[in-house]
Structure 1
Amino acid sequence: MAWRDAKASRIRLLLFMASIILGIAAVVAIQLFSTNLKDNIQRQSKALMGADYIIDTRQEPTERAQAIIDSLRPDAKEVNFVSMIAFPKNGGTKLVRVRGLQGAFPFYGDINTEPASAASTYQDLGGALVDATLLLQFNIKPGDSIKVGQLTLPILGALKAIPGSTAISTSVAPPIVIPYRFIDDTELIQFGSRKEYQFFYKAADTLNIERFEDKIEPMLDLENADLDTHTSTSRRLGRRYDNVGKFLNLAAFIALLLGCIGIASSVHIYIKEKLKAIAILKCMGTSRKQSFLIFLIQISGIGFLGGLIGASIGVGLQELFPYILKEFLPFDVEITITAAPILMGIFLGVFMSVLFALLPLLRTWYVSPLEVLRVNDNGGKQPKNIKLLVFLAIVIFLFLFSVWLLKDVRYALAFIGGTVITFATLGGIAILFMKTVRRYYPKTWGYTSRQSLLNLFRPNNQTLVLVVAIGLGTFLISTLYFTKDILLAKTEVGQTVENANIIILDVQSDQRNAVQQRIEANDLPILSNIPLVTMRMHKIKDQLVNDLRQDTTRQVRGWVLNHEFRTTYRDNLIDSEELLEGEWTPQLNASDPVVISISDNLAEDTKVSIGDTIIFNIQGVLMETTVGSIRQVDWGRLQLNFSIVFPKGVLEQAPQFNVFTTTAPNEERSAALQRDLVAEFPNVSIIDLRQVYTIVEDILDKVSWIINFMAFFSIITGIIVLIGSVRTSKYQRIKESVLLRTLGAKNSQILKISALEYTFLGMLGSLVGILLALASSLCLALFVFEESFVPSIIPFVVFLPGITILVLIIGLSNIRTVLNSSPLEVLRREG
C-alpha cells in the first residue's frame, strides 16, 4: 500500500527527498575530507617538519640548554630571522625570512627546487635558494645574485617548497635558504633582532617519542627552549584544521536541518490531505498501526534514497575541498573513500527524515473513521504530551549530534540555543503577521486583494512554513555579507597622512639620526619614532619566575614566564588604548619609584592588579616596578601596540633600538625609500602595510569563498525547500482556483490573487531574514570584533527583491493548469 500510494504521489515525494539531498551531501563530503585530512597529517607528520623532533629557542641557548642540545647530538641546525634583502640586478628589495641551514636537513620529505639539483648542492657551492614566487615577482633567475645584509651570494635555484613553511606564511615573508656558515657574514643579527635557533634530530626507531617528550620538555622549558616532536606537530595541526572542519560541519548541518524543516512542513500538508483516505481505510478495517506504517515506510524510503543520493554526491564533492583549502594546507591531501561517512549519510537521511516527519505522521494514528463524514480541519490532532515528547526528541538529537560535531558541550549548547532562537523568532514573526492581518483585515479593499490576504491566515495557509524557509536561507547569506564587511574593516589601512603605512624596524641607536635624515630626504613625514627595550620578568609580586615555572599549581600563564617583552616609554596614551584602572603616569624623575602601565590581558595572565610589584631583568639589570594603570588595547589594529609601557624618564639610558613609522602616498615612493634604506642599512627591516593588507584581504577572500561555498548548500537547500513548500500548496490552491473560475472569476483575478499572496510571503520572509542577520551581525561587531558596523547594501537590493521574485515565479507556476484548461478538465486530471 505504501508503494502504490507513493507511485501516485511520486512528484511530491521527490520534492521531499530533494530537501535533504544537499545537506547530506555536504555532511558526507566534509566528514570524508576531515577523515582524509587527519590520516594525511598522521602519515605525513615527519615530512611536514622534516625531522623526528626539533629543539628551538628564540635566543642563543643558555649554557644548560646548549648542554642538553649537544648531548642529544643534533643532525642539523638552523638560525632564521626576518630581514630585508636586495637584488643587485634591478635594485628590488623585499622582506623575507632568512633560513641559515647546516646539515642534511630535511631527513624526511624534500626541498623542492628548480633545478632539482640545487637542493643538494647549495651547501657545498655556497649559494642561495630563493622563493620561486619572489623570483618571478622581481624577474630574477637562477644565476643572478642576491644581497643579504653585507653578503652577496649567487642564486642557485628557485625554492618551491621546504618543510616548515606554509602558503600563508610565505606570502608574508617568502623564505630564502643559505648555508649556516654565512650568517655571521651578513651582519644582520644585531641587538634587538628577532631570531630563532632550531636543532633538528633524526631519532632511532626504538625511541618512544611520547615518553622522550615528557622527560625532556620540562627541562628545556626551564631554559626558555621548546621541544617539538612530529607527533605533537601533527596533533597541533589536527586541532587547527579541526576548527575549520567544525565550521564546515556546522554549515552543512544547518543545510541538513533546513532540509528537515522542509520535510516536516511538506509531510504536514501531505498527511493532512490523506486524512480522509486514512479514515476510509479505517472504516474498511485497517488498524492504527497499519495506517501509520503505510506512511512511515514512505518517509523512511524517501530518507534512505535521499541519504544514498546525497552520500554519492558527497563522495564527489570532497574532491573539491583540497582545491578550496590548498592555501591553508602545508601538504597535498591524498583522497581515499571510507565507508563510515557514507553509512552516516544514509543513517542521517533515514533517521532525520523520520524524526522531523514524526509529528505529522502521528496524525494518522489518531484519525477516526468518522472523519469520512465530518468536515473538520482539526482531525487527527495529537495529544499535547505526544507533541512535547517529539519536540524533546528532536532537540535532544540535535544537541547530541552537535556535541559529536563540535566535541564541546558548551559550543553545542550555544549552537542549539542559537538555532532554536532563530527558528522561534522566524516562526513567532510569521504567527504574529498572520494574527495582525486577521485582526486588521482591510474590508474596504478590492476582492482580489482581500482574497490574497485571506490566503495568508486561513486553513491550509503556507505562511509559517515559507517565512521560516525563506527567512533562514536569507539570514545565512546576509550574515555572511555583513560579517565579511566587519572583518575587512578590522584590517583596513587608510591612505591618509595621519595613518602610517610603512614601519621601519630594528633601527640601532647609532643609526637613528641617519635613518631619520634618509626618510626626510625622500620627502616623507616621520609619524613616530618609537624606542624599544627588551626585558624579561624576574619576579611577579613575591614569587620568582624560576620558582613559578616549576610550580604545577601556579595560576600565572606559562607564556609570561618565558616571554621576552618588547616595551616602550612615552608620556601619552595612543588611539588604540583606553585606560581601565589606575592613573596614567606620563613622566618620572630619576629618584621616583617606577610606575608602569600594563594591558588588561597581561594583568589577567599574570594575576596582578593596581599596586602589585613586578621586577624586570633588563639585559642583566634588575628593575623593580609597580603597576600604576591597566589599559585595554585594540590588538586588531595594524599598528605598534605594547603590553607594557613605561613613563618617560626611566629607560632612556637602557640598551634599545627604534621603530620609525611613515606614510608613502604610492608604491613607487615606498619602493624608493626601501631601496635607499636597505642599501645603507642592511640590518633594517621594512614592512609596507599596504602589502600586508593585500595579503590579509586575499586570505579573507579565500575564507569568504569557503563560507560562500558552504552557504551555497544552505541557500540551494532553502530554495528546494521553498519550491517543495510552494509546490505542495498547489494541491490546495488548484481546487480553490477551479472553484473561483466556476463561480465566474477571470484568469486575471486568479493570477492577481496568487501573485499578491506569494509577493507578501517572499517579501516578509526575506525581510525578516535580513533584519535578523543585521541584528546578529551588529552583536558580532560590538561584542566579538569590537568594531563599528556599516552594513552592506547588497542583501537589501539583491536578496530582498530576488527571493521575492523567485517565490512569485514558483507560486504562479502552480496555477498554470487552472488558467490554461477548463475547470472540469482540471478537476478530472488532479483527481
Structure 2
Amino acid sequence: MAWRDAKASKVRLLLFMSSIVLGIAAVVSIQLFSTNLKDNIQRQSKVLMGADYTIDTRQEPTERAQAIIDSLKPDAHEVNFVSMIAFPKNGGAKLVKVRGIEGAFPFYGQMNTEPKIAATNYQDVGGALVDATLLLQFNIQVGDSIKIGELTLPIVGALKSIPGSNAISSSVAPPIVIPNRYIEDTELLQFGSRKEYQFFYKTTNDFDLDAFEDKIDPMLDFENADLDTHTSTSKRLGNRYDNVGKFLNLAAFIALLLGCIGIASSVHIYIKEKLKSIAVLKCMGATRRQSFLIFLIQIAGIGIIGGLIGSLFGIALQELFPYLLKSFLPFDVEISISFLPVLIGVLLGLFMSVLFALLPLINTWYVSPLEVLRVGESPSKSSKRAQLIVSSAIALFLLLFSYILLDNIFYALGFVLGTLLTFAILAGIALLSMKGIRTFFPKRFGFAARQSLLNLFRPNNQTVVLVVAIGLGTFLISTLYFTKDILLSKTEVAETADAANIIILDVQTKQKDAVEKRIQSLELPILDNIPIVTMRMHSIKDQLVNTLRLDSTRQVRGWILSHEFRATYRDSLTTSEEIIEGEWTPEIQADAPILISLSDNLASDAKVKVGDDIVFNVQGVLMNTKVGSIRKVDWAQLKPNFTILFPKGVLEQAPQFNVITTAVPNEDKSATLQRELVSNFPNVSVIDLRQVYTVVEDILDKVSWIINFMAFFSILTGIIVLIGSVRTSKYQRIKESVLLRTLGAQNKQILKISALEYLFLGVLGSLVGILLALVGSLCLALLMFNEPFVPSMIPFLVFLPGISLLVVIIGLSNIQTVLRSSPLEVLRREG
C-alpha cells in the first residue's frame, strides 16, 4: 500500500525528499573534509614542521639552555626576525621576515623555489631566496640584489613555499631566506630587536617523542625556551581547524533543520488530505498500526533516498573546500572518501525525516472510521501526550547530534536553545502577523488585496513555515554582513591628519633625533615618540618566578613567567585605554612607591589586583613596584598598546629604544618614507597600517565568502521548502481559484491575489530576518566588541527586495495550472 500510494503521489514525495538533500549534502561534505583535514595534518605533520622537533627561544639561549641544545646535537638552526629590506635596483622597500638558516633544513618536505636548484645550493653560493610574490610586486628578477641592513646579497631564487608558512602570514611579512653566517653582517640584531632562535632536530622512527617532550620541555621552560614536536604541533593545528569545522557543521545543520521543518509542514498537509482515505481503509478492516505504517514507510523511504542522494552530492561538494580554505592552510589537502560520513548522511536523512514527520503522522493513529460519513466536521486530533513524546524525542535528537558535532554538552545545549529561540521568534512573528491581519482586517482594500490577506490564514496556509524558512536564511546571511562591518571598523585606519597610519619600530636612542628630522623633512608630522623598556617579572606577591615555574599547583598563567615584556612610561592615557580599577598615577615623586598600571588581561593571568607587589628585572636591575591601577585596553585598535604602563619619573635612565608614529596621506608618500628610512637607518622596521588593514579586509572577505557559501545552503533549502509548500497546496489552491472564477473572478485578479500573498510573505520573512540580524549584531557590537555599530545597507537594499521578488516568482510559477483549470473541473470532482 505504501508503494502504491507513493507512485500516485511521487511528485509530492520527491519535493519532501529534496527539502533535506541540501542539508545532508552540506553536513556530509563538511564531515568528509574535516576527516580528510585531520588525516592530512597527521600524515603531513613532519612536513608541516620540516623536522621531528624544534627548540626555540626569543632571546639568546642561556648557558643552561645552550648546554641542553648542544647535548641533543641539532641538525640545523636558524635566527629569524622581522626587518625592512631594500631592492637597490629600483629603491623599493618592504617589511619582511628574514630567516638565517644553517644546515639541511627542511628534513621533511622541501622548499619550493625557482630555479629548483636554489633550494639546496643557496647556502653554498651565498645568496638569498626571496618570496616570489614580492619579486613580482617590485619587478625584481633572480640575479638582482637585495639589501638587508648593512648586507647586500644576490637573489639566487624565487621562494614559492617553505614548510610551516601560509598565505596569510606571508602577506604581512613575506619570508626571505639567507645563509645563517651572514646574519651578523646585517648589523640588525641590536638592543630591543625582536628575534627568535630555532634549532631543528631529526630522529629515528622508533623515538618516543611524547616521553621526550615530557622530560625535556619543563627543563627548557625554566630557561625561557620551548620544545615543540611535530605531533604536538599537528594536534594544535588540528584543534584550530576543528573549530572551523564545527562552525561550518552548525551552519549546515541549520540548513538541514530548515529542510526538516519543510518536511513537517508538507507532510501535515499531505496527511490531512489522506485522512478520508485512511478512514476508508479502517472501514475495510485496516488496523491503526497498518494505516500508520503505510505512511511511515513512505517517509522513511524518502529519508533514506534523500540521505543517499545528499551524501553523494556531499562527496562531490567536498572537493570545493580545499580551494575555499587554501589561504588558511599551510599545506595541500589530499581528498579521499571515507564510508562513515556517508553512513551518517543516510542515517541522518532517515532519522530527521521520520522524527519531523511524526507529529503530523500520529494524526493517522486517531482517525475514526466514521470520518468517512462526517462531512464538514473537524477531523480527529492526536493526543497531547503523543505530541509531547514526539516533541521531546526531536529536542533530544537535536541535542545529541549537536553534541556529536561540538563535543561539548554546554555548547550543544546553547546552540539548540538558540536555534529553537530563533525559530520560535520567527514563527511567533508569523502567527502574530496572521492574528493582527485577522483582527484589523482592512475592509476598504480592493478585492484582490483583501483576498490575498485572507489567504495568509486560510486552511492549509503556509505562512508560518515560509516566514521561518525565508527569515532564517536571510538572518544568517545578514548577520554575516553586519558582523563583518563591526570587525572592519575595529581595524580601519582613519584617513585623518591626527590618526597614525605608519609605525616605525626599533629606533635606537642615538637614532631618535635623526629619524624625527628625516620624517619632518618630508613634511610629515611626529604623532608619537614612545620609549620602550624591556623587562621580565622577578617575583609576584613575594613569590619568585623561578619558584612558581616549578609549582604545578600555581594559578599564574605560564606565559607570564618566561615572557619578555615591552613596557613604556608616560603621564597620560590614550584613547584605547580606560581605568577600571584603582587610580592612575601620571608621575612618581622622589622616594615614593612606584605605582604601575596593568592591562586587565595581564592582571587576570597573573592573579594580581590593585595593591599587590611585583618585582621586575629591568635588564639586570631589580625594581620594586606596586599595582596602582588596572586598565581595559582595546587591543583591536591598530596603535601601540601596552600590558605594563609606568608613570613618568622611573624608567627614563633605563636602556631603551623607541617607537615613532606618523601619518602619510597616500601610498607614494609612504613608499618615499620607507625608502628614506631603510637607506639611512637599516635596523628600523616600518609598518604601514593601511597595508595591514588591507590584509585584514582580505581575510575577512575570504571568511565572508565561506560563510556566504554555507548561508547559501539555508537560502536554497528555504527556496526548495517554498516550492514544496506551493506544490503541496496546489490542489487546494486550484479548488479555491476555480471557485473564485465560478463566482466571476478574472485570471488577472487571481494572479494579483497570489502575487500579493507571496509578496507579503517574502517581505515579512526577509524583513524579520534582517531585523533579527540587526538586533543580534547590535548586541555583539555593544557587549562584545565595544564599538559603535553602523549597519551595512546591503541587506536592506539587496536581500529584502531580492528575496521578496524570488518568493513571488516561485509562488506564481504554479499559478499557470490554476489559470488553465476549468470551473467545471472542481465541480465534477466534488460531485
Superposed pair shares fold, TM > 0.5: yes
Q: Structure 2 CA distance, aligned partners of 1:546 and 1:506?
A: 29
Instruction: Identify the residue that residue 797 of structure 2 maps to in structure 1.
Output: 797
Q: Structure 1 CA distance, aligned partners of 2:549 and 2:243?
A: 30
Q: Which amino acid aligns with 2:672?
A: A
Normalising to structure 1: TM-score of the pair? 0.98
Q: Which amino acid aligns with 1:57?
A: T
Instruction: Identify the residue that residue 486 of structure 1 maps to in structure 2.
Output: 486
In structure 2, do the counterparts of structure 1 residues 250 and 537 end up closer, same or farther at CA, with 3 Å as the change threshold?
Answer: same
User: Does the CA contact (< 8 Å) of 2:738 and 2:821 recur in 1?
Assistant: no
User: Does the CA contact (< 8 Å) of 1:531 and 1:569 recur in 2?
Assistant: yes
User: Does the CA contact (< 8 Å) of 2:470 and 2:715 recur in 1?
Assistant: no
Instruction: Identify the residue that residue 193 of structure 2 maps to in structure 1.
Output: 193
Structure 2 residues without counterparts, runs of 5 or longer: none
Q: Structure 2 CA distance, aligned partners of 1:446 and 1:195?
A: 77
User: Does the CA contact (< 8 Å) of 2:734 and 2:821 recur in 1?
Assistant: no
Report deviation, 1:311: 0.7
Instruction: Identify the residue that residue 647 of structure 1 maps to in structure 2.
Output: 647
Instruction: Identify the residue that residue 134 of structure 2 maps to in structure 1.
Output: 134
Instruction: Identify the residue that residue 696 of structure 2 maps to in structure 1.
Output: 696
Q: 2:592 is paired with a residue of what secondary structure?
A: coil
Instruction: Identify the residue that residue 540 of structure 2 maps to in structure 1.
Output: 540
Q: Structure 2 CA distance, aligned partners of 1:338 and 1:753?
A: 51
Q: 1:365 is paired with a residue of what secondary structure?
A: helix
Q: Structure 2 CA distance, aligned partners of 1:692 and 1:445?
A: 57
User: Does the CA contact (< 8 Å) of 2:259 and 2:718 recur in 1?
Assistant: yes
User: Does the CA contact (< 8 Å) of 2:2 and 2:294 recur in 1?
Assistant: yes
Report deviation, 1:735: 0.8
Report deviation, 1:827: 6.4
Instruction: Identify the residue that residue 411 of structure 1 maps to in structure 2.
Output: 411
Instruction: Identify the residue that residue 422 of structure 2 maps to in structure 1.
Output: 422
Instruction: Identify the residue that residue 434 of structure 1 maps to in structure 2.
Output: 434
User: Does the CA contact (< 8 Å) of 1:590 and 1:650 recur in 2?
Assistant: no
Q: Structure 1 CA distance, aligned partners of 2:825 and 2:458?
A: 27
Instruction: Identify the residue that residue 686 of structure 2 maps to in structure 1.
Output: 686
1:35 aligns with 2:22: no
Equivalence map 1:163-242=2 (5 Å): 163-242=163-242
Normalising to structure 2: TM-score of the pair? 0.98
Give a deviation string over 1:776-829, Cα, whole Å, max 9, x none. 111111222222111111211222222222222222333322322321246669
Q: Which amino acid aligns with 2:58?
A: R
Q: Structure 1 CA distance, aligned partners of 2:804 and 2:171?
A: 43
Q: 1:526 is paired with a residue of what secondary structure?
A: coil
Instruction: Identify the residue that residue 609 of structure 2 maps to in structure 1.
Output: 609
Report deviation, 1:92: 0.7
Q: Structure 2 CA distance, aligned partners of 1:731 and 1:219?
A: 78
Q: 1:199 is paired with a residue of what secondary structure?
A: strand
Instruction: Identify the residue that residue 263 of structure 2 maps to in structure 1.
Output: 263
Q: Which amino acid aligns with 1:374?
A: R
Q: Structure 1 CA distance, aligned partners of 2:165 and 2:459?
A: 63
Instruction: Identify the residue that residue 512 of structure 2 maps to in structure 1.
Output: 512
Give a deviation string over 1:495-527, Cα, whole Å, max 9, x none. 111111100000001101100110001110000
Q: Structure 1 CA distance, aligned partners of 2:220 and 2:90?
A: 45
Q: 2:739 is paired with a residue of what secondary structure?
A: helix
User: Does the CA contact (< 8 Å) of 1:734 and 1:814 recur in 2?
Assistant: no
Equivalence map 1:564-713=2 (5 Å): 564-713=564-713
Instruction: Identify the residue that residue 819 of structure 1 maps to in structure 2.
Output: 819
Equivalence map 1:268-287=2 (5 Å): 268-287=268-287
Q: Structure 2 CA distance, aligned partners of 1:375 and 1:647?
A: 89
Q: Structure 2 CA distance, aligned partners of 1:43 and 1:228?
A: 17
Q: Which amino acid aligns with 1:541?
A: K
User: Does the CA contact (< 8 Å) of 1:493 and 1:499 recur in 2?
Assistant: yes
Q: Which amino acid aligns with 1:141?
A: Q
User: Does the CA contact (< 8 Å) of 2:47 and 2:109 recur in 1?
Assistant: yes
Q: Which amino acid aligns with 1:804?
A: S
Report deviation, 1:487: 1.5
Q: Structure 2 CA distance, aligned partners of 1:460 and 1:82?
A: 67
Report deviation, 1:444: 4.2
In structure 2, do the counterparts of structure 1 residues 812 and 17 end up closer, same or farther at CA, with 3 Å as the change threshold?
Answer: same
Instruction: Identify the residue that residue 111 of structure 2 maps to in structure 1.
Output: 111
Q: Structure 2 CA distance, aligned partners of 1:800 and 1:157?
A: 53
Instruction: Identify the residue that residue 367 of structure 2 maps to in structure 1.
Output: 367
Report deviation, 1:460: 1.8
Instruction: Identify the residue that residue 21 of structure 2 maps to in structure 1.
Output: 21
User: Does the CA contact (< 8 Å) of 1:817 and 1:826 recur in 2?
Assistant: no
In structure 2, do the counterparts of structure 1 residues 144 and 444 end up closer, same or farther at CA, with 3 Å as the change threshold?
Answer: closer
Give a deviation string over 1:26-60, Cα, whole Å, max 9, x none. 11111111111111101100011110000000011
Equivalence map 1:749-788=2 (5 Å): 749-788=749-788
Q: Structure 2 CA distance, aligned partners of 1:286 and 1:636?
A: 69
Q: Which range moves more in the overlay, 359-368 or 814-823?
A: 814-823
Q: 1:629 is paired with a residue of what secondary structure?
A: strand
Q: Structure 1 CA distance, aligned partners of 2:86 and 2:819?
A: 76
User: Does the CA contact (< 8 Å) of 1:527 and 1:660 recur in 2?
Assistant: yes
Give a deviation string over 1:90-137, Cα, whole Å, max 9, x none. 111110000011111111111111111111111111111111111111
Report deviation, 1:378: 4.0
Q: Which amino acid aligns with 2:474?
A: T
Q: Structure 2 CA distance, aligned partners of 1:635 and 1:396?
A: 41
Q: Structure 2 CA distance, aligned partners of 1:583 and 1:830?
A: 85
User: Does the CA contact (< 8 Å) of 1:30 and 1:249 recur in 2?
Assistant: yes
Report deviation, 1:830: 11
Q: Structure 2 CA distance, aligned partners of 1:154 and 1:563?
A: 37
Q: Which amino acid aligns with 1:684?
A: V
Q: Which amino acid aligns with 2:559?
A: W
RMSD: 1.4
User: Does the CA contact (< 8 Å) of 1:166 and 1:329 recur in 2?
Assistant: yes
Q: Which amino acid aligns with 1:534?
A: T
Q: Structure 1 CA distance, aligned partners of 2:828 and 2:28?
A: 44
1:6 aligns with 2:6: yes
Q: Which amino acid aligns with 1:120?
A: T
Q: Structure 1 CA distance, aligned partners of 2:280 and 2:662?
A: 85
Q: Structure 1 CA distance, aligned partners of 2:366 and 2:93?
A: 80
Structure 1 residues without counterparts, runs of 5 or longer: none
Q: Structure 2 CA distance, aligned partners of 1:104 and 1:761?
A: 67
Instruction: Identify the residue that residue 398 of structure 2 maps to in structure 1.
Output: 398
Report deviation, 1:372: 1.2
Q: Structure 2 CA distance, aligned partners of 1:108 and 1:751?
A: 69
Report deviation, 1:727: 2.4
Q: Which range moves more in the overlay, 471-480 or 658-667?
A: 471-480
Q: Structure 2 CA distance, aligned partners of 1:376 and 1:509?
A: 94
Q: 2:204 is paired with a residue of what secondary structure?
A: coil
Report deviation, 1:748: 2.8
In structure 2, do the counterparts of structure 1 residues 278 and 565 end up closer, same or farther at CA, with 3 Å as the change threshold?
Answer: same
Q: Which amino acid aligns with 1:179?
A: P
Q: Which amino acid aligns with 2:417?
A: G
Q: Structure 1 CA distance, aligned partners of 2:128 and 2:745?
A: 85
1:552 aligns with 2:552: yes
Q: Structure 1 CA distance, aligned partners of 2:270 and 2:616?
A: 75
Equivalence map 1:729-740=2 (5 Å): 729-740=729-740
User: Does the CA contact (< 8 Å) of 2:733 and 2:818 recur in 1?
Assistant: no
Q: Which amino acid aligns with 2:155?
A: I
Give a deviation string over 1:148-199, Cα, whole Å, max 9, x none. 1111111111111111211111111001111111111110000000000001
Give a deviation string over 1:343-387, Cα, whole Å, max 9, x none. 111111111000111101111111111111224564241111111
Q: Structure 2 CA distance, aligned partners of 1:100 and 1:750?
A: 78
Q: Structure 1 CA distance, aligned partners of 2:648 and 2:608?
A: 23
Give a deviation string over 1:316-365, Cα, whole Å, max 9, x none. 11111111111111111111111111111111111100011110111111
